[in-house]
Amino acid sequence: MTDFVGDTARMLPKGFRIGAATASAQVEGAATAGRRTPSVWDAFAAQPGRILDGSTPAVTADSFHRYAEDVALLAELGADAYRFSLGWTRLQPGGRGPLDPEGVAYYDRLIDELLAAGIEPFVTISHWDLPVEYERGWLDRGTAEALGEFAGLVGERFGDRVAAWITINEPATVTLNGYALGIHAPGEALLFDALPTVHHQLLGHGLAVQALRAAGVTGGIGITNVHSPVVAASDSPDDAAMAALFDIVHNRVFADPVLLGRYPEVPEQFAELFGAFGSVPEADLATIAQPLDFYGLNYYMPTRIAAGAGTGESPDGEAAAMAELPFRLEALDEHPTTGFGWPIAPEYFGIALAEVRERYGDALPPVYITENGASFADAADAEGRVDDPDRIAYLAAHLGSALAAVAPGGAAEGVELRGYFVWSLLDNWEWAAGFTQRFGIVRVDFDSGRRIPKASYRWLQEVLRRRG
């Protein structure tokens, strides 16, 4: 358990926040409690074959009923902060109208419990959870306006007690998995015709920032993007061109407008693919580029890209639409992998931070690592305990890589890194993978709901005890 404890504890700067993260659809359950209405993930999970094990978000880790246990686990861990998301359809059934009193009461209880335990609430407003009533989802500009309205309502209600607000989580994953490849909700496979969802999500972010500021929230405001350093599979010009294309579509179209107020320049050979950005109103870009108090960066892995069609494999499951793209993902066989098959490459964490520093310079606000973690094939003993040395090694190496990169002389020197959130506090319902992937530092028995801290939890607890 004590492997890596001392080195990690010594690296933590004074005031550096350590926390854990979850998302409402993945842990709350209680689908029939109060007046919660279906989200796009309820509808997606109801379609045969969409979720790997056929499960649904109806119960998950049942945090709606067991939130006090979860806060107690965070307090015992020594966590500074807890990042969680708001269930849009729990707070605003049907996606319209005033906030529902029962939904508000749940989040009041959770926030107050956190504050009583000395834990800062970091609230994500939209974490892939959208009311089914928005039939075209993020393809419709009206969804951006709805997010802004919802942000204003929750800002007015909870804004005096929330330490930090994240408007939207990983718009890249929503666009690519949900609208381009069809492997996440709502299940559209539009390839490059999905690009309007980029602009509408970012516009929703900007409108949410404006609404939160108008509501007078006391906490900082930011966005969370997932960054993946992209490497070409070879030195060939074709592979290099496709790696650049993937970098644009995965990283830059989501970060550049927020931080620079413009979409990235696209090589002429790809210009037609990005026609959705050709007539974006300047007023929209000004809204998207609202000044931020922090930038949330999620890191999981690098991506290796080669020219030519692939077989339909993606990091998050089989996607037939992948075979229609002009590039393919190549394995990084030199690295070990997580339970999801993702490469374990902590050195690229520093590269991700260095890339955002180089690209955005003084326009980059202070940074929080809002997600980093790994699933592994945890084996529980007869008491439900899990010894997970691979997860301990993963977390120690990745946190160490990030801190080393931003230290004096590091590749990302100049980035003000303020904190790190482990994904995830709990084993949860892992979207299209259902219950087949366990990311938590706390094991959840999905039959009984029982929580059992893993060895990785005890490791992080000791790191936090010994810091400073």
In angstroms, rounded to a whole number, what is the distance separating the alpha carbons of residues 153 and 243? 41
Q: Backbone phi, then psi, for 407, in 5-degree steps?
A: -70, 160
Q: Backbone phi, then psi, for 263, in 5-degree steps?
A: -80, 150
- Residue 116: count other Cβ atoms within 10 Å of its Cβ: 10
| Exposed/middle/buried for residue 115 (C-beta within 10 Å: 0-12, 13-18, 19+) | middle
DSSP labels for 65-90?
A: HHHHHHHHHHHHHT-SEEEEE--HHH
Q: Which of 98, 88, 80, 107 is nearest to 21 (CA)?
A: 80
Catalytic site positions: 371
For helices 253-260 and 347-360, give the axis angle rounded to 10 degrees. Answer: 40
Sign of torsion over alpha carbons 58, 59, 65, 67: negative
Q: Where are the beta strands (DSSP E) in 265-403?
A: 294-298, 303-307, 313-314, 317-318, 327-330, 367-372
**Where do we find the tokens 């929230």?**
217
Q: Please report how many Cα atoms fall inside a 13 Å half-sphere around the Cα of residue 338, on the Cβ side.
A: 24
**Residue 262 token pair:** 């413009």
In angstroms, rounded to a whole number, what is the distance separating the alpha carbons of residues 157 and 121? 14
**Where do we find the tokens 């407008």?**
257
**Where do we find the tokens 């997932």?**
226
In angstroms, rounded to a whole number, what is the distance separating the alpha carbons of residues 217 and 147? 16
**Where do we find the tokens 């007078």?**
216
In angstroms, rounded to a whole number, what is the distance separating the alpha carbons of residues 432 and 316? 8
Tell me the CA distances in angstroms from 343 to 118, 333, 402, one per residue in order.
Answer: 36, 8, 17
In angstroms, rounded to a whole number, what is the distance separating the alpha carbons of residues 350 and 356? 10
